[in-house]
């Protein structure tokens, strides 16, 4: 893509298949019924002038620039608000229209600073374009009268400014905030000449409700709302289409470039996941890629207390290979392993698991998805037959009842949240199951029908209680179950679910959710025409994570809510490529496409292609690697883009394991916490330098295209390939496309996929093969992937992590909109203006009994460790529950989390830790240790 500006057809596309025939300026056209005249004209190549209309917003009809003439009608209707009718004859260019439009423009321009040559929007301003389009040559009214030319500039937002002197009060920004983002932060204040855009009463943008999504900036036709990067660097000269590297929504973007510098990221209108919208991270928080902290040269050292020695790539690769071979010779083939990253491309992930299997000769490969969504893979595979969500995001627009369980979409998956909120404003009903009052429970124009504030760790009894009501009150879709599901398993499940311990009354005792709310919520979902379940880490990161995933699948099958638009069981994946890293064979027991490494036929298909023998025994999972390391049996680790020391539970155990290894190789952008334990540092590439694909939460394979060359001099897949070669295995890809070709050849769900195909069609959702040449938006349409849907009994086995007198509170964790996971990227951007530190949310009653006030430093202590952080007092959390985020390494949130994990997948139980909170006067011992290590590393880096 070289064109920078994306086409604007003026009003949204009409829905439906019916067409009408019209004539525009004498030329015949066939258009979808309900299309506006403005859009119909633009679709036919006739540019009717417009200002207040844009195709991402409903027509508004305020500027009167788009007037047209319609045969047989009086006057001059606004083309943006007038739908086409069969046989309509429209004139867009007449003398009368030209005069009217010129008059309109004259009024606008008479109150506009005519500083076009020095304006940041010069060349990309619709007002300027329209003045040209209507042929405005002079303005009869001078600037002597009342005007807005001295209106102030609000530059409070770190990423964009609001220059009120240039505002034409077209209201596009206000409507974008309402309709697209759903935040309702802006209003038009005052009337007539006094009317102006306002972000709140006497508030600037930064202090307002604004969440900095940038939709208003994108919608603004003038330089009023403008990115500061454009103000500073000027307009772009070319553009590259790529994919956001933050969350699992997988928004498509157009990287607008000036030379090799990014000057703006604009959401791609035809991006299937985001349809032209974005959040603050994707649109604005890309500055980390050129942050001064980035390491651009490989480094090695013999021991972790020694300075790093910057070396050339050849030496770093030869050294890595030599150390891994030496360790294997001394400690055995299985003494080393690798971790793949959900932040990297599929191609980069695939070569790392291949390095482990083909060059290391074992299956000791795991991925960071282990600690987030591994129960999703297991639970959905068991019940439905495939390890992935069932729907495309846009399916939510057909849902009647939406159930959000253990997810906080407005913070974690903001662009999908905006879409969901749109559907909720249209009238869909909402059930939120979460220990905390997340934003969705009550936000502008949205109120959940039910918020079930369960005690952390009681998801399974709650889902069982909902199922109990559905079964006992005759809300099961018997026909669906009989036709589509394994009936024996259903009968066994029904018997289990009807047990008294699963009744709402019994579960109310365990979960703290009133029985009548459980009953009413169950009826709402059970009676829905189309009920959709969306869930997140608040489901998976429990010792019963897999049980809960299966519980949700059971419920959806029992009510006939899988296989159609508007329903399904949908994991909201945390990182950009969690789905892909799992798909690529990153688990120790599975090759690409979730096929067991123990299966001879599967293994031999890879063996034939790779020219090696693959170990038939599954390898170590991440926690097994740590345990084996502490036991002295696991000595070397290749860690691709994951900060294990910060993100894995029970930090002291992780640090002990990393310290005991002889060769820890970290491939990352920054010297992260794990790098403090590393012997080799291989600099990685940011998404702006990558060529490959990501797969989002809806199984969508999206292209990631490089907008600049790798800043450290080497593609990440090539680093891995060269290590494999140096270890004696001939890996020989010429480019990233060749890696995808091999993935497609060896993975039945990817058969049709190639870079060339994706470049041609945009994006596809797997499976994409001979049965589904253009991909599969909705899974399990006629039958489940496994054949008959399997009900699995979901008896509740409580976690062993219990509260007692010493640890009477339950800690649960989550994240905030402006930051991303361990914060390695977002903490190196201006997103920090919305976040200074991780805070501990404490309910007022718990705070009062402990003498804790707002902002106090408190000690958070569990059976595993102690940290200190500041408290904030809020009733977002219920009494007995405390909550924090984990974005700052200094907080050490995982110092207190336990080693309890999901019974099936070892996904850590981050969401339930028994703790005590007390006022603190000084930082914890762990944090003193953290400071000491940081200081030592600082000295080491300085001497490097
Ligand atoms: S940036 Fe987003 S949230 Fe803020 S005012 Fe604009 S549209 Fe609304
Ligand atoms: S700020 Fe821009 S979009 Fe908003 S009313 Fe003014 S000109 Fe229109
Ligand atoms: S919603 Fe997710 S994928 Fe989209 S821009 Fe934000 S962080 Fe990126
Ligand atoms: S574009 Fe139609 S009235 Fe403004």
- Residue 636's H or E segment, with its range, is strand 636-640
751 falls in which pLDDT band (50, 70, 90)? very high
CA–centroid distance, 281 to ligand 3, in Å, is: 6
Residue identifier of the C-alpha nearest atom 4 of ligand 2: 173
Burial classification of residue 414, based on how many CB atoms lie within 10 Å of its CB (0-12 exposed, 13-18 middle, 19 or more buried): buried
Least reliable range by pLDDT among 379-383, 632-636, 812-816, 886-890: 886-890
Per-residue pLDDT reduced to its tens digit, 124-156: 889 888 888 888 777 666 666 666 677 789 999
Q: What is the pLDDT confidence band of residue 16, given thresholds at 50, 70 and 90?
A: confident
Using the structure block, give the residue that is written with the tokens 């909402």. Answer: 430
Query: Can you state the percent helix, strand and coil of the chain, rounding each to 5?
Result: 35, 20, 45
Between 43-57, 371-385, 391-405, 433-447, the lowest mean confidence (pLDDT) is in 371-385
pLDDT at 3 over 80: no
Quote the CA–CA distance of 116 and 121 in Å, as a whole number: 8
What are the tokens at 584? Answer: 């690529």
Q: What is the residue with the minimal CA distance to atom 6 of ligand 2?
A: 167
* H or E stretch at 760: helix 755-761
User: Which residues have any ligand 1 atom within 6 Å of their CB?
Assistant: 176-177, 181, 183, 185-186, 210-216
pLDDT score recorded for residue 142: 60
* Per-residue pLDDT at 927 exceeds 80: no
The pLDDT, as a whole number, for residue 374 is: 83
Ligand nearest to the CA of 821: 3
Q: Report percent pLDDT > 90 for the chain.
A: 78
Locate 700 and state its tokens: 């969508």
Q: pLDDT per residue over 418-453, tens digit each? A: 999 999 999 999 999 999 999 999 998 999 999 999
Give the per-residue pLDDT at 881.
95
pLDDT digits (tens, 9 = 90+) for 529-558: 999 999 998 999 888 999 999 999 999 999
Q: In what order do the strands lie in the sheet with 261-267?
A: 238-243, 252-258, 261-267
pLDDT of residue 140: 67
Q: How far apart are CA 516 and CA 801, in angstroms?
A: 28
Q: Sort strands 839-842 and 866-873 into parallel, antiparallel or unpaired.
A: parallel
> pLDDT digits over 256-314, tens only?
999 889 999 999 999 999 999 999 999 999 999 999 999 999 999 999 989 999 999 99
The CA 203 to ligand 1 mean position distance, Å, reads 14
- Residue identifier of the C-alpha nearest atom 2 of ligand 2: 220
DSSP code for 575: B
Q: Can you tell me which atom of ligand 2 is nearest the CA of 174? A: 4
CA Rg value for the chain: 29
217 CB within 6 A, ligand 2: no
Other C-beta atoms within 10 Å of 477: how many?
Answer: 17
Average pLDDT for the chain: 92
Q: How far is CA 639 from the centre of its chain?
A: 22
Helix axes of 515-527 and 459-472: crossing angle, nearest 10 degrees: 60
Burial class (CB in 10 A: 0-12, 13-18, 19+), 291: middle
Give yes or no for residue 222 CB within 6 A of ligand 2.
Answer: yes
pLDDT in tens, 763-808: 999 999 999 999 999 999 999 999 999 999 999 999 999 999 999 9
Cα 229 to Cα 161: distance, rounded to the nearest angstrom:
10
Structure confidence at residue 944 as a pLDDT band (50, 70, 90) = low
> Which ligand has the shortest distance to the CA of 274?
3
Burial class (CB in 10 A: 0-12, 13-18, 19+), 938: exposed
Residue 166 Cα: closest atom of ligand 2:
7
pLDDT band at 928 (very low <50, low <70, confident <90, very high): confident
Smallest CA-to-CA distance from 559 within 485, 468, 478 is with: 478
b/e map of 326-355 (b: 16 or more CB within 10 Å)? ebbeebeebbbbbbbbbbbbbbbbbbbbbb
Q: What would the mean pLDDT of 496-522 be, rounded to a whole number?
A: 97
pLDDT at 1 over 60: no
Point out the ligand nearest to the CA of residue 108: 2
Best mutation site among 224, 226, 227 for ligand 2 pocket (most ligand atoms within 8 Å of CB): 224
Tell me which of 281, 283, 536, 578 to substitute to probe ligand 3's pocket, judged by most ligand atoms within 8 Å of the beta carbon.
281
Distance 413 CA to ligand 3 centre (A): 7
Q: How far is the CA of 215 from the centre of ligand 1 (A)?
A: 6
pLDDT exceeds cutoff 90 at 158: yes
Dig out the tokens for 900 from the structure.
Answer: 């309890």
pLDDT above 70 covers a percentage of the chain that reads 97
Counting beta carbons within 10 angstroms of the beta carbon of residue 138, is it exposed (0 to 12), middle (13 to 18) or buried (19 or more)? exposed
Q: How many angstroms separate the CA atoms of 327 and 660, rounded?
A: 13
Contact assessment for residue 579 and residue 587, using Cβ atoms and an 8 Å cutoff: no
Average of per-residue pLDDT across 46-72: 95
pLDDT higher at 108 or 420:
420
Of 346, 348, 365, 341, give the one whose Cα is nearest residue 717.
348
| pLDDT class of 936 with cuts at 50, 70, 90 | confident
166: helix, strand or coil: helix
Q: Where do we find the tokens 């709140």?
A: 200
Sign of dihedral through CA atoms 408, 411, 412, 418?
Answer: positive
Question: H or E segment at 527?
Answer: helix 515-527
Residue 144 pLDDT: 64
Mean pLDDT in residue range 873-881: 95
**According to the 3-state scheme, what is the secondary structure of 80-126?**
CCCECCCCCEEECCCHHHHHHHHHHHHHHHCCCCCCHHHCCCCCCCH
Contact residues of ligand 3, CB 6 A cut-off: 244, 246-247, 249-251, 274, 278-279, 281-282, 413-415
Separation of alpha carbons 349 and 344, rounded Å: 6
CA dist list (Å): 562 to 69, 536, 566, 571, 768: 49, 18, 9, 14, 20
Give the H or E element holding residue 883. Answer: strand 881-885
What are the C-alpha distances in Å from 217 to residues 107, 222, 228, 744, 761? Answer: 23, 9, 11, 40, 29
Sign of CA dihedral 400, 403, 407, 411: positive
Residue among 369, 359, 370, 424 at smallest CA distance from 396: 424
Q: What is the pLDDT of residue 6?
A: 86
- Residue 53 CA: nearest ligand 4 atom is 1
Candidate from 62, 105, 129 with most ligand 4 atoms within 8 A of CB, to mutate? 62
Say if CB 825 and CB 288 are below 8 A apart: yes
Distance 181 CA to ligand 1 centre (A): 7
Rounded to the nearest angstrom, the distance between the alpha carbon of 162 and the centre of ligand 2 is 9
pLDDT of residue 908: 82
Q: Quick check: 552 and 525 in contact, CB under 8 A? A: no
Contacts of 590 (CB under 8 A, 6+ apart): 596, 597
Q: How would you write 741-755 as a 3-class SS string?
A: HHHHHHCHHHCCCCH
For the CA of 211, the closest atom of ligand 1 is 3
Q: Is the dihedral of CA 323, 325, 328, 334 positive or negative?
A: positive
Looking only at the bridges linking them, the beta strands covering 450-452 and 429-433 are parallel
> How does pLDDT run across 186-228, given as a tens digit for each residue?
999 887 777 889 997 778 999 999 999 999 999 999 999 999 9
Ligand nearest to the CA of 577: 3
- Ligand 1, atom 7, lies closest to the CA of 177
Residues 908, 899 contacting (CB under 8 angstroms): yes
Read off the pLDDT band of 357 (50, 70, 90).
very high
Q: Is the pLDDT of residue 525 over 60?
A: yes
Least confident of 48-52, 147-151, 218-222, 708-712: 147-151
Ligand 3 centroid, distance to 283 Cα (angstroms) = 8
Give 372-384 as a 3 state SS string: CCHHHHHHHHHHC
State phi, psi for 154 to the nearest 5 degrees.
-100, 110
- For the chain, the distance separating the N- and C-terminal CA atoms, rounded to the nearest angstrom, is 42
Residue whose tokens read 């830790």: 913
- Alpha carbon separation from 735 to 608, 667, 739 (Å, rounded): 21, 20, 7
417: three-class secondary structure by DSSP: helix
Q: Which of 822-826, 839-843, 935-939 has the highest mean pLDDT?
A: 839-843
Res 145: pLDDT? 65
Q: Which ligand is nearest to the CA of 162?
A: 2
Interacting residues of 103 by C-beta distance below 8 A, sequence separation 6+: none
| Residues with C-beta less than 6 Å from any ligand 4 atom | 50-53, 61-66, 78, 80
Residue 28: both structure tokens together? 């015949």
Q: In what order do the strands lie in the sheet with 160-163?
A: 153-154, 160-163, 225-227
Dihedrals phi, psi of 659, to nearest 5 degrees: -65, -25
């Amino acid at each position: 893509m070289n064109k920078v500006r994306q086409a604007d057809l003026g009003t949204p596309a009409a829905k439906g298949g019916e067409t009408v025939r019209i004539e525009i300026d004498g030329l015949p056209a066939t258009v979808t019924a309900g299309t506006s005249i403005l859009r119909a004209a633009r679709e036919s190549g006739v540019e009717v002038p417009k200002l207040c209309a844009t195709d991402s917003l409903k027509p508004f009809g305020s500027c009167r620039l788009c007037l047209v003439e319609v045969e047989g009608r009086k006057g001059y209707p606004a083309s943006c608000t007038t739908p086409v009718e069969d046989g309509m004859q429209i004139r867009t260019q007449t003398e009368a229209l030209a005069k009217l439009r010129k008059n309109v423009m004259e009024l606008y321009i008479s109150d506009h600073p005519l500083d076009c040559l020095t304006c940041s929007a010069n060349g990309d301003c619709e007002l300027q374009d329209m003045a040209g389009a209507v042929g405005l040559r002079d303005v009869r009214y001078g600037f002597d009268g009342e005007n807005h030319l001295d209106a102030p500039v609000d530059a409070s937002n770190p990423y964009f400014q609001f220059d009120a002197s240039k505002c034409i009060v077209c209201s596009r920004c206000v409507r974008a905030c309402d309709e697209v983002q759903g935040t309702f932060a802006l209003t038009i204040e005052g009337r007539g000449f006094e009317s102006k855009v306002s972000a709140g009463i006497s508030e600037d943008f930064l202090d307002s409700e604004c969440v900095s999504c940038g939709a208003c900036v994108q919608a603004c036709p003038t330089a009023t709302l403008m990115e500061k990067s454009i103000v500073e660097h000027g307009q772009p000269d070319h553009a590259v289409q790529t994919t956001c590297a933050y969350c699992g929504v997988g928004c498509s973007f157009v990287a607008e470039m000036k030379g090799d510098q990014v000057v703006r990221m604009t959401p791609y209108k035809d991006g299937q996941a985001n349809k032209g919208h974005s959040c603050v991270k994707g649109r604005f928080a890309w500055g980390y890629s050129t942050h001064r902290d980035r390491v651009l040269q490989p480094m090695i050292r013999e021991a972790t207390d020694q300075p790093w020695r910057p070396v050339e790539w050849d030496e770093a690769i030869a050294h890595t290979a030599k150390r891994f071979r030496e360790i294997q010779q001394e400690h055995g083939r299985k003494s080393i392993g690798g971790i793949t990253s959900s932040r990297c491309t599929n191609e980069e992930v695939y070569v790392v698991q291949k390095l482990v299997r083909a060059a290391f000769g074992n299956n000791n490969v795991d991925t960071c998805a282990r600690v987030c969504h591994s129960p999703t893979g297991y639970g959905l595979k068991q019940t439905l037959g495939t390890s992935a969500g069932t729907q495309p995001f846009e399916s939510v627009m057909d849902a009647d009842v939406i159930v959000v369980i253990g997810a906080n979409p407005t913070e974690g998956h903001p662009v999908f949240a905006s879409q969901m909120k749109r559907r909720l404003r249209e009238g869909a009903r909402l059930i939120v199951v979460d220990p905390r009052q997340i934003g969705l429970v009550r936000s502008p124009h949205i109120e959940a029908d039910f918020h079930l504030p369960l005690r952390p760790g009681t998801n399974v009894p709650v889902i069982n209680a909902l199922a109990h009501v559905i079964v006992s009150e005759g809300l099961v879709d018997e026909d669906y179950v009989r036709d589509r599901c394994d009936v024996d398993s259903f009968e066994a499940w029904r018997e289990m679910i009807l047990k008294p311990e699963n009744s709402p009354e019994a579960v109310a005792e365990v979960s703290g959710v009133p029985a009548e709310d459980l009953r009413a919520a169950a009826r709402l979902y059970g009676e829905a025409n189309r009920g959709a379940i969306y869930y997140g880490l608040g489901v998976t990161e429990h010792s019963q994570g897999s049980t809960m995933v299966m519980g949700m699948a059971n419920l959806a099958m029992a009510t006939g809510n899988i296989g159609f638009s508007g329903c399904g069981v949908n994991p909201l994946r945390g990182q950009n490529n969690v789905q892909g890293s799992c798909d690529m064979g990153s688990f120790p027991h599975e090759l690409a496409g979730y096929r067991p490494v123990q299966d001879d036929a599967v293994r031999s298909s890879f063996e034939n292609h790779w020219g090696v023998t693959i170990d038939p025994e599954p390898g170590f999972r991440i926690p097994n690697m740590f345990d084996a390391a502490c036991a002295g049996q696991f000595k070397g680790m290749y860690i691709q883009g994951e900060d294990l020391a910060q993100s894995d539970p029970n930090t002291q155990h992780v640090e002990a394991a990393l310290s005991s290894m002889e060769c820890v190789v970290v491939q990352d952008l920054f010297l992260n916490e794990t790098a403090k334990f590393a012997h080799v540092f291989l600099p990685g590439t940011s998404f702006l330098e990558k060529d490959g694909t990501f797969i989002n939460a809806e199984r969508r394979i999206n292209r990631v295209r490089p907008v600049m060359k790798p800043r450290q001099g080497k593609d990440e897949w090539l680093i891995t390939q060269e290590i494999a070669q140096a270890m004696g295995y001939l890996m020989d890809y010429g480019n990233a496309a060749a890696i995808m070709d091999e993935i497609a050849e060896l993975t039945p769900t990817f058969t049709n996929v190639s870079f060339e195909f994706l470049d041609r069609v945009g994006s596809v959702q797997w499976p994409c093969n001979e049965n589904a040449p253009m991909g599969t938006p909705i899974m399990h349409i006629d039958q489940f992937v496994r054949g008959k849907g399997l009900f699995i009994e979901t008896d509740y086995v409580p976690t062993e992590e219990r509260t007692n007198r010493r640890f009477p509170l339950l800690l649960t964790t989550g994240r905030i909109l402006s930051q991303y996971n361990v914060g390695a990227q977002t903490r190196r951007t201006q997103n920090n203006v919305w976040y200074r530190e991780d805070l501990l949310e404490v309910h007022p009653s718990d705070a009062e009994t402990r003498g804790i006030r707002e902002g106090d430093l408190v000690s958070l202590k569990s059976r595993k460790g102690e940290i200190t952080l500041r408290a904030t007092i809020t009733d977002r959390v219920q009494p007995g529950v405390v909550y924090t985020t984990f974005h700052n390494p200094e907080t050490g949130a995982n110092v207190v989390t336990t080693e309890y994990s999901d019974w099936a997948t070892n996904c850590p139980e981050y969401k339930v830790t028994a703790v005590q909170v007390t006022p603190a006067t000084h930082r914890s011992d762990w944090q003193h240790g953290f400071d000491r290590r940081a200081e030592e590393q600082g000295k080491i880096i300085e001497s490097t």
